[in-house]
Amino acid sequence: MTTFVNRPKAYITRQIPQKGLDLLLERCNVSFWDSADPAPRTELLVNIPGITILVCMPTDKIDREILNAAGRSLKIVATMSEDCDHIEVSECTRRDIRILTLPQVTNETVTQMTIALLRLTTVEMMGPSSRNLNTVLQSKNIVKETVADYDYCLELSNRTIGIIGLESLGLTVGLTLKDMGVSSFLYHDFSEVDGAEKINAKLVDKNELLKKSDLIFVCSNIDRSGTSSYIFDRESFKEMKSSAVLIDATKGLFANFIDLYEALRNGEIAAAGLDIREYDVIPNRHPLDALENCFFLPFRESYKWDGRRKCSGELANAILSTLQDIEFSEKKLSTKEQQCTQMLQNVPQSNLPIGV
């Protein structure tokens, strides 16, 4: 049984905003990889033995090797992500390790960000607009501002939209685009999706969608096994129109970034918009940053940092709350064991001969 007589040890695999770090320091001894780039796996394996808390990023693979290195003292794995695809959940469950994630963002919120990416990425493609772009992007309801932009919606209505992954988020994005005047939809999924008829979307294979779509929205990168995977590579980009625009709503894990860079630089596709709201999904100083036809959301570094600051605080508070819950449960169990021991000691010894 683990009892936290001393301050629990926490290890953070990357730099996080000071707010989250300060909260953890109030209760724990904290060490971390002091860089915006990922900690090398060898460094991680060396620094985690004996820790109670591991704070990781979506690019860190937390598997059996990492859990073995941390040892039996590890009680919490917390990730700066909404998902835990990079964590071996079954192994954590077997070891009674708690997994903490960031709160899930609603489909409506992601749709707002996706439409913001669309506006950013298609500035040159769509021509003049009746709304100032900065006004649209800084409004509380980007979708509403865009729907009211008659000139933009008129131009958008002439385009064929391809959606990869129509369920849930994809359908919400599709319905929003329909409100903007779009009438031609293609989608690619494992099978026909209930609700596709609401936007009159046609199910096609991936290659047909790539060849025929003017704007492609990637709303899911989950393969048949249920795990995230790269669904765009060099061959995928060669199938697309040279005027096509690619919009990502999967938090940046949908493509081989080297292949995407080459496709954008060589003009194989016109532009791309990437959702990077989760920290460092695209490595720091990546060549994509230098391209004029690649756009990111959040589109200002200060917005990205503000979001990370809030998330780090929320995750740190969740860690401290869970830590308190674990301590309470173990104290309660320890008290019960002491009571059982005392009861056994108070039982009168039998005077009967052994074997009777």
* Mean pLDDT over the full length of the chain: 84
Give residue 118's pLDDT.
92
Give residue 287's pLDDT.
87
Give residue 197's pLDDT.
95
pTM score of the predicted model:
0.72
- How many Å apart are CA 111 and CA 218, to the nearest integer? 12
- The answer on pLDDT for 170 being more than 90 is yes
**Dihedral Cα 135, 136, 141, 142, nearest 10 deg:** -160
- How many Å apart are CA 243 and CA 268, to the nearest integer? 8
Mean pLDDT on 82-105: 90
- How many Å apart are CA 14 and CA 16, to the nearest integer? 6
- The answer on pLDDT for 1 being more than 50 is no
- Together in a domain, 154 and 219: yes
Give residue 257's pLDDT.
86
Mean pLDDT on 21-34: 94
Specify the CATH number for the domain of residue 47.
3.40.50.720
- Together in a domain, 83 and 119: no
**Number of structural domains found in the chain:** 2
- Together in a domain, 170 and 98: no
Give residue 290's pLDDT.
86
- Domain of residue 63 covers 1-104
Give residue 322's pLDDT.
95
- Host H or E run for residue 313: helix 301-346
207-253 tens-digit pLDDT: 999 999 999 999 987 665 555 667 899 999 999 999 999 999 887 66
Q: Which residues of 37-73 are buried (b: 16+ CB within 10 A; e: fewer)?
A: ebbeeeebeebbeebbbbbbbbbbebeeebbebbeee
Give residue 4's pLDDT.
47
120 phi/psi in degrees, rounded to 5 = -60, -45
Residue 103: which of 82, 75, 133, 72 has the closest Cα?
82
Which residue did the predictor score with more confidence, 23 or 279?
Answer: 23
- Together in a domain, 247 and 210: yes
Separation of CA 336 from chain center: 41
